[in-house]
Amino acid sequence: MAQNLAALRVKIECDLLGRASAPFDYRERKFAETASIGIPEIDYLAGGLPRGGFTEICGPPCSGRTSFLLSALASRTAHAEVCVLVDGSDNFDPYSAQAAGVELKQLLWVRCRNIDQALRATDLLLQGRGFGLIALDLSDIPPKIVRHVPLNAWFRFRRSIEDTQTIFVVFDQEPNAKTCASLVLQLGSETARWSATIETSTEDSFAYPSACLLDGFDVRAEVLRSRVQKAVVAGFHLGFAPASIGGDTGIFRTKAVWNGSDNLLFEPQSKRLEKRE
């Protein structure tokens, strides 16, 4: 029996000669190089987005996926990388992207009409090589349809970007890529923040809608799966204390584009005191 196994092993090795160097050897996982996406909380939590790896960002509508996407695009295009957005349902807004700092000239936007077009376009782009980031946005495609994407499609995507410098990110409502994904982040929205203008900074400012401004909202991020080794990523500031609420969970804040300042105009007095302390 043992002799037969040994003979079989030798035969397989001979047959695969030139195609696989050592088919029975354990393939050591290479250290995934990661890239910052411009959100320190996510960089701290997940170690950044893996290059040559498959990242899946999922969450319901209004959970911060687009803010995440814009931040990633802004970060990569600022480094002169060529980025692609495969827009599954043509919902991308160039105005908010530019306000978020995305260099639109570095962005190839593929506006698809359905998921089939989006998957085929992604296939072509992954074969093209050389892109810094490829984002497949299936956020507004119903989960029932995305669930029907065969697993081999995700597997093919994963294999296509292996050993490349490309970051591949899929945005959808629930995790679908299973083990193909190197990093899966679940996003969920927390409270929305509204600020009042100077003239009407009263307790019941919501009674006067013209006196309010949408300031942004908080996003809770949870790591569902990660094969990425955390490393000190570029752009991480020393002394930063993430608003983490658990080992694999963190919270980050988005700000409306008209509120470019880091400080809220009207924070409650108690919160200001807390901050100083």
Partner 1 sequence: MAFASIYVPNFLVQSVVRAEAALRDRAIVLVDGNPPLEKVAAMSDAAARAGIQLSMTKSQATQFNGVEIRNRSRAQEKAAHAALLDLGWSVSPRVEDTAQDTIVLDLAGLASLFHSEENVANELLRRAAVLGLLVNIAISSNLEAAVNAARGFSGVTLIPAGEEAQRLGCMPINVLSPSLEVLETLDLWGVRTCAALTALPFLQLSERLGQEGVRLHELARGASQRSLVLAEPPICFEEEMPLDYAVAELEPLAFLLGRLLDQLCARLTARSLAAGAIRLRFDLERSPENNPRFSDGKSSGELALRIYEKALNLPVPMRDSKMLLRLLRLQLQANPPRASIIKIWLAAEPALQRVAQGGLFLPNSPDPEKLELTIARLKNLVGDSHIGSPELIDTHRPGEFRMSRFAPSRDEPLKNRKSSNLATGFRAFRPSLPLKVELREGYPARISFRGMRGEVVAASGPWRTSGDWWQEDPWQHDEWDLEIHFRFSPAIHLGRGSTCPQRGLYRIYYDVLRGNWFMRGIYD
Please, what's the b/e burial string for 225-240 (b: 16 or more CB within 10 A of its CB; e: otherwise)?
A: bbebeeeebeeeeeee
CB of 232: closest distance to partner 1 in angstroms? 14
CB 128 → partner 1: shortest distance, Å? 4
The beta strand positions in 138-211, using DSSP E, are 167-172, 183-196
Output the CA–CA distances (angstroms, integers) from residue 93 to 85, 124, 160, 260, in the order listed: 12, 24, 28, 18
* Least distance (Å) between residue 18 CB and partner 1: 26
Closest CA to 104 of 126, 69, 78, 131: 78
DSSP, residue by residue, 202-237? STTGGGSGGGEEEEEEEEEEEEEEE-PPP---TTPP
What is the phi/psi pair of residue 220, to 5°?
-100, 130
CB closer to partner 1 out of 13 and 128: 128
Minimum CB–partner distance for residue 11 and partner 1 (Å): 39
Q: How far is the CB of 162 from partner 1 (least distance, A)?
A: 15
| Distance in Å, CB of 40 to partner 1, minimum | 6
What is the DSSP annotation of 125-147? HHHH---SEEEEE-TTS-HHHHT
Select 91 or 179, whichever has its Cβ closest to partner 1: 91
CB closer to partner 1, 13 vs 256: 256
26 vs 95, beta carbon nearer partner 1: 95
Question: Which residue lies nearer to partner 1 by CB, 90 or 274?
Answer: 90
CB 83 within 8 A of CB 135: yes
As given in the structure block, the two tokens for residue 247 are: 């080992």
- Of 10 and 234, which CB lies nearer to partner 1 in the complex structure? 234
